[in-house]
Amino acid sequence: MPNSLAGRLILDTAQDGPWNMAVDEAILDTSDVESRPTLRFYAWSPATLSLGYFQSWSERSAHAASRECPAVRRQSGGGAILHDREVTYSLTLPFSHRMARHSRDLYLVVHQGLLAVFFEEFGIHASLVPDRLADSSPQQPFLCFQRRSPGDVILEGHKVAGSAQRRRKGAVLQHGSLLLGKSEFAPELPGVQEITGVAIPESEFIRRWSALIGERLGVDWSCEGLAAREQKVAHRFWESRYANQSWNTRR
């Protein structure tokens, strides 16, 4: 695309929760060196519960279906997410990018791109949660996908995609999940397949979604992996934080 920025697209294989979260933080932490947009898609193995940064560890005991799953604490806020039959992404932008300046703008770029892929490729009509329907109750459900925030993606009344952000060192990280199907570890949450009867081909969906995100951000993606420095920083975060049970359970 003419006059576009060079960006990096990372298509990762399935990894455990601590490593996935360590990589996201490493990309954000080294963004002053990379200084270019990075879009990463990844999966989780085994199925993992991620707690929002401010959630209490003790809350997870109240959710019986996920008790046997490993758990990790995210660097972003919000409710707990059961990562299983889903697509997870992270998008890191330097503050110099126009879309990094306002949180809502970046949510809309990604989520409106998702709506477009739903409709254009699969004939699925989804929508965004308007401000007036957001849940402002101080007592929020444990699971993120039972909450409603402005800009969340809903399908026939069910939330199927949401995102959260973290800002640091001149960059913003936004990561989120799309529920493709129901997990046995969170059976109260239907995915796109249960709601519509459509089985989304994951690789094709990622290809189209990443292209639309790139168009809307003015970024031309090039498939690459982590740089050596990012790998080193990710291992440090993995050891000191996400694979460290005392760090995960500290709240």
Per-residue confidence (pLDDT) for residue 94, from 0 to 100: 92
pLDDT at 80 over 80: yes
Residue 69 falls in the annotated catalytic set: no
pLDDT at 251: 86
| Integer Cα distance of 18 and 146 in angstroms | 24
Lowest mean per-residue pLDDT among 93-107, 171-185, 228-242: 93-107
**What are the residue ranges spanned by the domains of the chain?**
5-248
Going by pLDDT thresholds of 50, 70 and 90, the confidence category of residue 133 is low
pLDDT in tens, 144-188: 999 998 999 999 999 999 999 999 878 999 999 999 999 999 999
Q: What is the mean pLDDT of the chain?
A: 93
Cα gap 10→225, rounded to integer Å = 6
Question: What confidence category does residue 140 fall into, taking pLDDT thresholds of 50, 70 and 90?
Answer: confident
Give the integer Cα–Cα distance in Å for 210 and 160.
Answer: 18
Share of the chain above pLDDT 70, in %: 96
CA dihedral for 101, 88, 52, 230, sign (positive or negative) = negative
pLDDT in tens, 10-42: 999 999 999 999 999 999 999 877 679 999 999
Q: 209-228, pLDDT tens digit by residue?
A: 999 999 999 999 999 999 99
| CA distances, 238 to each of 85, 181, 199, 245 (Å) | 24, 28, 34, 11
Reduce the secondary structure of 7-41 to three states and give it as a string.
EEEEECCCECHHHHHHHHHHHHHCHHHHCCCEEEE
What is the spatial distance between Cα 111 and Cα 164, in angstroms, rounded to a whole number? 12
Is the pLDDT confidence value at 8 over 60?
Answer: yes
Asked if the model's pLDDT at residue 238 lies above 90, the reply is: yes
Q: Tell me the CATH architecture of domain 5-248.
A: 2-Layer Sandwich (3.30)
Q: Which of 27, 81, 109, 144 is catalytic?
A: 144
pLDDT of residue 181: 97
Confidence check: pLDDT of 131 > 90: no
CA distance 251 to 247: 8
Residue 216: count other Cβ atoms within 10 Å of its Cβ. 15
Give the chain's length: 251
